[in-house]
Amino acid sequence: MLWMFRRVIFGPLTHAENQKLRDLNGRELLILAPIVLLIVFMGIYPQPFLSRIEPAVERDLEKCSPRRRCR
């Protein structure tokens, strides 16, 4: 996987028309910014997200307790 990543990202350009491509335009940055902010927020303050999934995790842990087989 790392070999493929290195060749795709850092490899030489094989088509001359690709030299004129920009990395990101304004529209793409506008879409990407909220996603990046949400990722950072989830990394710094994950409790609101963890508290929402806690009941489902508790049910799954109860189903897979050492006394019982997972179903």
Contact yes or no for 51/57 (Cβ under 8 A): no
- Encode pLDDT of 52-61 as tens digits: 999 999 998 8
Q: The whole model's pTM is what?
A: 0.58
pLDDT at position 68, please?
A: 63
For residue range 1-54, what is the model confidence (pLDDT) as tens digits?
Answer: 999 999 888 888 888 888 888 888 999 999 999 999 999 999 999 999 999 999
DSSP structure string for 2-66: HHHHHHHHHSPPSSGGGGG--S--HHHHHHHHHHHHHHHHHHH--HHHHHHHHHHHHHHHHHT-T
Q: With contact defined as beta carbons under 8 Å apart, do 41 and 33 qualify?
A: no
